[in-house]
Structure formats: structure tokens, C-alpha cells
């Protein structure tokens, strides 16, 4: 049984992705593929809400890395919200945090992406 699931929704021109569970195996690559799909459809504002993420290992980190790389190459904007401290530290360690905007919650991310902050 997979310990990972993903839901997503679009509000205005922003796509919100909500991964759930363990991001520690290739199965979580769905996150990267889904973000590619949205970018392909012209959506260039993405938010990843980490509320339900329980664990991330280096495989998970690799998946986020590719997401960030794709965002950079497509001039899209990527925001992370609701991150736990240890997840954030891991992303800092990998040098990934420099390329994304991290917000406390979705509301702050939406304000940023809509140019209100």
C-alpha cells in the first residue's frame, strides 16, 4: 500500500498541490509529473502545501529538486507553505530553499503570487 497521495486544485491562476504522507520513494514522482502537467497547460504559479507531509528523504528531495529545476527553466513561480522545521532545514541543506519562496500558509503565498505583498 502506498504511503503517498496527492491532491491538487486550481484557484484563479494558481495551482495548489497537497502531497500527503511519505515522500520517500519513486512513487512520489507524481508530484513532479503533476507540476510539469500544470506548467505545460500554462499555469506558472504553483503552491505546494506541506501540511500533510510526514516524512521526506533524499529521494523526496530529488523529486523537489527536479520540480524546482523545471520551474526555473519555465520561468514559473513556486511557493512552499506550511513547512515543518525539519523539512525546511533539509531543503536549506540541499540549497533548494534559495530558489523557492516559503510562506507560513497558503493565504500568504496567494497574496505574494497575486502581487499583494
Partner 1 sequence: MSDSKFHLKRLMFSIASLVDLGQEATSSKDLSAKMKSALYVITGTFSVPRAALFVYHPKHRSLELLADKGYKESARQEIKLSVLPQHIKHFHVNEPHSIHEMVGSPFYERNDQVFSKLQTRLFIPLFAKDEFVGAIALGKKLGRESFRQNEKDVLRVVAHQMAITLYNVTLFGELTKKAAENKKLYESMRRIYHDTVQAFSAAIDAKDGYTKDHSYRVACYAVAIARELRWKKMDVEGLYVAGLLHDIGKIIIDTKVIKKGEGLTTLEKNEINKHPQISYDILSKIKFPWKNIERFVLHHHERLDGKGYPDALRSTELSDGEKILALVDAFDAMTTDRPYRDKLGLDEAFKEVLKCGGTQFDEQITSTFFNLLLRELSGEVKDPQILPHLRSNGTDPSAPNWAWVQASGSPSGSCRDKRENSDPLFSRFESRVEDSGKQPQGSWIRPLYVTRHK
User: Which residues are CB-neighbours of 73 under 8 A, at least 6 positions away?
Assistant: none
Total site size for partner 1, rule CB under 8 A: 23
Q: Measured between alpha carbons, how far is 38 from 4 in angstroms, rounded to an integer?
A: 20
Nearer to partner 1, 10 or 57 (CB): 57
Q: Does 57 interact with partner 1 (rule: CB under 8 A)? A: yes
Nearer to partner 1, 43 or 62 (CB): 62
Neighbours of 16 (CB within 10 A): 19
Q: Does 94 interact with partner 1 (rule: CB under 8 A)? A: yes
**Rounded to the nearest whole angstrom, what is the least distance from the CB of residue 32 to partner 1 in the complex?**
9
Among 31, 47, 79, 90, binds partner 1 (CB under 8 A): 90
- Whether 36 contacts 70, CB under 8 Å: yes
Q: Does 25 interact with partner 1 (rule: CB under 8 A)? A: yes
Nearer to partner 1, 26 or 116 (CB): 26
Q: What are phi and psi of 104, to 5 degrees?
A: -65, -45
CA dihedral 61, 62, 67, 71 (to 10 degrees): 100
Q: Using CB under 8 A as the criterion, which residues of the chain lie in contact with partner 1 when the complex forms?
A: 24-26, 57-63, 65-66, 68-69, 89-90, 92-96, 98-99
Amino acid at each position: 500500500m502506498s504511503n503517498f497521495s496527492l491532491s491538487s486544485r486550481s484557484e484563479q491562476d494558481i495551482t495548489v498541490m497537497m502531497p500527503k504522507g511519505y515522500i520517500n520513494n519513486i512513487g512520489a514522482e507524481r508530484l513532479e509529473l503533476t507540476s510539469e502537467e500544470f506548467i505545460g497547460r500554462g499555469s506558472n504559479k504553483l503552491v505546494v502545501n506541506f501540511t500533510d507531509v510526514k516524512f521526506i528523504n533524499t529521494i523526496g528531495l530529488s523529486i523537489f529538486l527536479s520540480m524546482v529545476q523545471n520551474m526555473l527553466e519555465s520561468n514559473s513561480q513556486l511557493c512552499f507553505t506550511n513547512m515543518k522545521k525539519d523539512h525546511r532545514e533539509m531543503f536549506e541543506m540541499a540549497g533548494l530553499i534559495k530558489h523557492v519562496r516559503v510562506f507560513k500558509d497558503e493565504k500568504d503565498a496567494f497574496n505574494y503570487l497575486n502581487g499583494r505583498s
